[in-house]
Structure 1
Amino acid sequence: MAQSAQSSTETDWVSRFADEVIAEAERRAPGKAVVVASGLSPSGPIHLGNLREVMTPHLVADEIRRRGIEVRHVLSWDDYDRYRKVPAGIPGVDPETYGQYIGMPLTAVPAPAGSAYATWAEHFKAAMVESLAELGVEYDPISQTEQYTTGVYRDQVLFAMKHRGDIDAILDQYRTKQKPGGKKPQQKQVDEAELEAAEGSGAAAEDDGSVGEGGYFPYKPYCGQCGKDFTKVTSYNDETTELTYVCTEDEYTETVKLSEFNRGKLVWKVDWPMRWAYEGVIFEPSGVDHSSPGSSFQVGGQIVGIFGGEQPIGPMYAFVGISGMAKMSSSKGGVPTPADALKIMEPQLLRWLYARRRPNQSFKIAFDQEIQRLYDEWDKLEAKVADESVLPADAAAHARAVRTAAGELPRTQRPMPYRTLASVVDITAGHDEQTLRILSDLEPDRPLTSLDEVRPRLDRAENWITTQVPADQRTLVRDEPDTELLSSLDDEGRESLRRLVDGLDSHWSLDGLTTLVYGVPKVMAGLEPDAKPTPELKVAQRTFFALLYRLLVTRETGPRLPTLLLAVGAERVRKLLAV
């Protein structure tokens, strides 16, 4: 493998992991493509927490690819997992009807009513596939249904059954046993909500296998009669590969030749390390649920040796939260997905949120007002990159956000402030002609000729306003003046409004109106318009701003006043503020 020289300023976590992975790959499989892996179970909506399972190895793989080294990012779709329970709040899913499918493979469960896809697995995979494409994530997809049902893993299954005693001995070390005195061994407790949130990563809890006349068996067939996995292997012949199982659901018994049988899979704690060895995985992250003793990652680290492989290196990643929401779980309805996030933010911003934090650092993705601050922070970073004042680690995170080894992601031609765009579409209710007029007034020296110049950011801001901002927080400009409030003003209040109205024409730009609205209270206090604010002056400014909001939009808060004034238009402002 050829490795390009690394800059001494590259100190971000992605580069450090890439260094480790390349060195480990050289040790394990010199001359071969580096393999990194992710696993997702389409058991329900694949949420933004699950996205970290993909983004972490993607960023590392992309860094390795940038260095000119061949790398494969394997994404296993765990679509042969059992349907464990009916997620709440899924449109087109009746809990009573879908309860009958529990225990079947996800690829055997019908898609929700109205779906364009035939199966449950394909329905929930589709949205993620589209989102990953938009995010620029390159990967090799592997359907575990196809792997098992076409016999790709047949040798691995037979091998596991032959060495079931060795596997059982490892698992037995972690099984909960009574100690003398009735005390159970201490295990690190993992929050139930965190275990729930692990669903969708292939880490859902499963049993270790079954025990019958021949001892322990790490294989679970799907029943030939009901199609479910409520089965128990009762005997197995290593010579003939004859396997007998019984289904506890319908008491169906069947004897098959495992060397020819493809309707079943290894239990999860054996399946995962088998795949590490089969694919030659060098790097794969794991969720925090794997930190507990007996977790599938820890146990798999020992079982993988039976298959002649080694455990991948990789970090434990922390959970991703949503502003104002509890921990995410794909088994519950209403959990934001990458597709939901990409409706309100550009791919670059979403990539940046995952790239700038080390995997073991938790962070939140904003669906509330915080998204405006995040965009402000992003725009400041872009400006620092442009003038070369950016810190090395921040520059690296930015570079990983805006481009991959394959090239630059599509971006907004003129990225006006997100909060400004949101305010404008809020006030205009998305009316294109009015929106273009107002945005052109923001930069009179360089007016917009088309809204396409501010897309897709404009569309994201509009989606945020229409889908995430409650109706009672939307901006509604008055049609007629509030004559009662205007008549109640004292001389000072009237004079402040007159000064504002008189200065509109000479200050009609975003910067000019900012100077005007902050300057009127200064002038009223006998100060120069550019005077530095004092605590007393700040109180006067807040009082003046509240008055303007009440007269323009009936509330004491709203979009930033300069943007609001531009949106309302000078003529209408004069009408509403006339004293």
Structure 2
Amino acid sequence: MTDALHTAAQISKAWPFEEARKIAKRFPGGKRDGAGNLVPVLFETGYGPSGLPHIGTFQEVLRTTLVRRAYETLTGGHPTRLVAFSDDMDGLRKVPDNIENKAVLEAHLGHPLSRIPDPFGTHESFAHHNNAMLRAFLDQFGFDYEFVSASDRYNAGEFDDALRNVLRNWQAIMNIMLPTLREERRKTYSPVLPVSPTNGQVLQVPVEVVDADAGIVRFEDVTGEVIEHTVLGGWSKLQWKVDWAMRWVALGVDYEMCGKDLTDSVTQSGRIAQVLGGRRPEGLIYELFLDEKGEKISKSKGNGLTIEQWLEYGSDESLSFYLFRDPKSAKSLHVGIIPRAVDEYWQFREKLPEQPVEQQLGNPVWHLLRANGYAGGEGDKLPVTYGLLLNLVGVLGAGASRDQVWSYLGNYVENADPAAHPALDGLVTRALAYNRDFIAPTLVRRKPEANEAQALMALDTALAVMSADATAEDLQNIVYEIGKNPDFAFETLRDWFKCLYETLLGSAQGPRMGSFIALYGVGNTRKLIAEALAG
């Protein structure tokens, strides 16, 4: 690492570096073991496998990875690890709506997710299926992580010492938790949820510690009988906030972020971690997603945007770029934000090579390209913006094809071959899908007003005498001159461009017209003008 990069990292205001400096302050000189050896800083993300991975899962792993890479840069390469932790020892509380074979799950309500048959019939359990989906999901995006299963740790006894620690500090934990609960809940609350030896359910019952060192507790089983039983070796699951604290201490977690809805959990789990002899990790509390109406996204309402939907209409880089920006501010998450995110990503990427190092560290693309070991590839410039592509396919209509779009790109792009421009080719496919589903159904070209018709005729006349080698800038200048001509009575240039968008493209917004005419072709643009003038 160069001195300039190291210096810039120390003062960068980019949020991953601000987070990384929290960790560096926690471990001056790096994290060390008892012998003084440098050991990895542990980053963690959590996942509840009662459902499939979603955009929230992606954003948490991505953002944590960005902080991890910033810390490595800040410290000159101190070692790090990222654990993706699956809380698959949880008891199933309700059957997800998107499961077809619900009867399998309904028969096992209350059982640990890893001990319920897989309704899809492909894995050892429901949790194993969803864990496999998580790992495939993270692998798809190239994340560097270690997968850890709660069930594996509980069942193998690897959390037994931590469970004994909870039993030894029972009253101190109760003193933290009980004031936060409703009166009715206090009567049944227990930091430890025993697994019934009768039917295997995770029980929400009062528990009495009999022998902390032996791991023995007393509780009422499903039969109504009061029994004494071990909580070790997979015979219990800790309550959520206690479990989170125990995990931080047992695994030695140094950094974990979470959503705003878990703010209270962070506070209480942090206090419990201290009781257990550990320390709350550093972390960022990020804002939640909103839909296009500004309402909180809810799985039950179905008002969110899935990662599959984003990737159908936009690139994974654009999703990462959108999630990078200001995590402490609430974000709207709907299809309408995708085109702008795509184009802004490429604008920042194009700027990157020319920026001094201190500006590079504030460029989202610098962080995104390093998140998972980017090693170079296609150039740093997209020859056509996504917005312009959408305008092109909008004019071509819902039945436009990939080959047809590329034939028009030949007017504008040097070496217009999909193989030479794979990123652009991917956006062509996505633009066709976006146009089919969202643009084509809404396009309505209006008839021009009298003054607008005169201006369109003037534009047609000017285009008729343009030379074959006219550039997009030449064409843009002609458009400007006509719009500024007082004979056509436009109050502002914006009114003239609005006329072009609404009469030629059928949309309230549009591209630089010079670029559009160069892409669509002068002859084809003249046909659009003729159609507009014909009403």
TM superposition score category, shorter chain reference: 0.7 to 0.9
Answering whether residue 346 of structure 2 is matched by residue 379 of structure 1, we say yes
CA drift of 1:373 comes to 2.6
Instruction: Name the residue aligned to 2:60.
Output: 53
Instruction: Name the residue aligned to 1:22.
Output: 24
Would you say the 8 A contact 2:207–2:219 is kept in 1?
yes
Instruction: Name the residue aligned to 1:402.
Output: 369
Would you say the 8 A contact 1:503–1:516 is kept in 2?
no
User: Once superposed, what is the RMSD of the aligned Cα atoms?
Assistant: 4.1
Answering whether residue 190 of structure 2 is matched by residue 220 of structure 1, we say no
Q: Which moved more, 1:469-478 or 1:130-139?
A: 469-478
Equivalent positions of 1:411-430 (< 5 A) are 415=382, 416-426=384-394, 427=396, 429=399
Answering whether residue 111 of structure 2 is matched by residue 104 of structure 1, we say yes
Counterpart amino acid of residue 158 in structure 2: V
Unpaired runs of 5+ residues, structure 1, are 179-206, 212-216, 527-532, 550-554
Instruction: Name the residue aligned to 1:42.
Output: 49
Answering whether residue 365 of structure 2 is matched by residue 362 of structure 1, we say no
Higher helix content, 1 or 2: 2
Measured at CA, do residues 208 and 263 of structure 1 come closer, stay the same or move farther in structure 2, by a change above 3 Å?
A: farther
User: In 2, distance between residues paired with 1:320 and 1:122?
Assistant: 28
Would you say the 8 A contact 2:92–2:113 is kept in 1?
yes
Identical-pair percentage: 20
Equivalent positions of 1:114-129 (< 5 A) are 119-129=125-135
Counterpart amino acid of residue 269 in structure 2: G
CA drift of 1:53 comes to 3.2
Measured at CA, do residues 282 and 364 of structure 1 come closer, stay the same or move farther in structure 2, by a change above 3 Å?
A: same
Which fold has the larger relative contact order, with Cα–Cα distance below 8 Å and residues 6 or more apart in sequence? 1
Encode CA deviations 1:53-91: one digit per residue, 9 max, x unaligned. Answer: 333332221122332101112221112222222344x26
User: In 2, distance between residues paired with 1:128 and 1:510?
Assistant: 46
Instruction: Name the residue aligned to 2:359.
Output: 392
Answering whether residue 319 of structure 2 is matched by residue 319 of structure 1, we say no
DSSP-derived class of the 1:456 partner: helix
Would you say the 8 A contact 1:208–1:218 is kept in 2?
no
Counterpart amino acid of residue 86 in structure 2: W
Task: Name the TM-score, length of structure 1 as normaliser.
Answer: 0.74
Q: Which moved more, 1:29-38 or 1:140-149?
A: 29-38
DSSP-derived class of the 1:237 partner: strand
DSSP-derived class of the 1:43 partner: coil
CA drift of 1:34 comes to 1.2
Answering whether residue 86 of structure 2 is matched by residue 77 of structure 1, we say yes
DSSP-derived class of the 1:74 partner: strand
Counterpart amino acid of residue 141 in structure 1: F
Encode CA deviations 1:387-439: one digit per residue, 9 max, x unaligned. Answer: 32797376353310122373437656752311123334453745232222111
Would you say the 8 A contact 1:231–1:245 is kept in 2?
no
CA drift of 1:142 comes to 0.8
Measured at CA, do residues 176 and 432 of structure 1 come closer, stay the same or move farther in structure 2, by a change above 3 Å?
A: closer
Measured at CA, do residues 536 and 273 of structure 1 come closer, stay the same or move farther in structure 2, by a change above 3 Å?
A: closer
Unpaired runs of 5+ residues, structure 2, are none
Instruction: Name the residue aligned to 2:418.
Output: 451
CA drift of 1:15 comes to 1.8
Count of residues in Structure 1 that have an aligned counterpart in Structure 2:
514
User: In 2, distance between residues paired with 1:435 and 1:540?
Assistant: 27
Encode CA deviations 1:234-285: one digit per residue, 9 max, x unaligned. Answer: 555317644454455xx36585642764232111121111111111122222
Would you say the 8 A contact 2:59–2:320 is kept in 1?
no
Would you say the 8 A contact 2:255–2:283 is kept in 1?
yes
Would you say the 8 A contact 1:47–1:335 is kept in 2?
no
User: In 1, distance between residues paired with 2:270 and 2:507?
Assistant: 60
Measured at CA, do residues 87 and 504 of structure 1 come closer, stay the same or move farther in structure 2, by a change above 3 Å?
A: farther
- Please point out which of 238, 244, 254 is paired with 1:266: 238
User: In 2, distance between residues paired with 1:311 and 1:460?
Assistant: 43
Measured at CA, do residues 174 and 536 of structure 1 come closer, stay the same or move farther in structure 2, by a change above 3 Å?
A: closer
Measured at CA, do residues 247 and 497 of structure 1 come closer, stay the same or move farther in structure 2, by a change above 3 Å?
A: farther
DSSP-derived class of the 1:296 partner: helix
Counterpart amino acid of residue 243 in structure 2: D
DSSP-derived class of the 2:49 partner: coil
Encode CA deviations 1:522-554: one digit per residue, 9 max, x unaligned. Answer: 56938xxxxxx96255535544553334xxxxx
User: In 1, distance between residues paired with 2:453 and 2:331?
Assistant: 51
User: In 1, distance between residues paired with 2:349 and 2:268?
Assistant: 44
Encode CA deviations 1:264-322: one digit per residue, 9 max, x unaligned. Answer: 2111121111111111122222322233xxx3321222221332211112232221335
CA drift of 1:139 comes to 1.8
Measured at CA, do residues 410 and 430 of structure 1 come closer, stay the same or move farther in structure 2, by a change above 3 Å?
A: farther
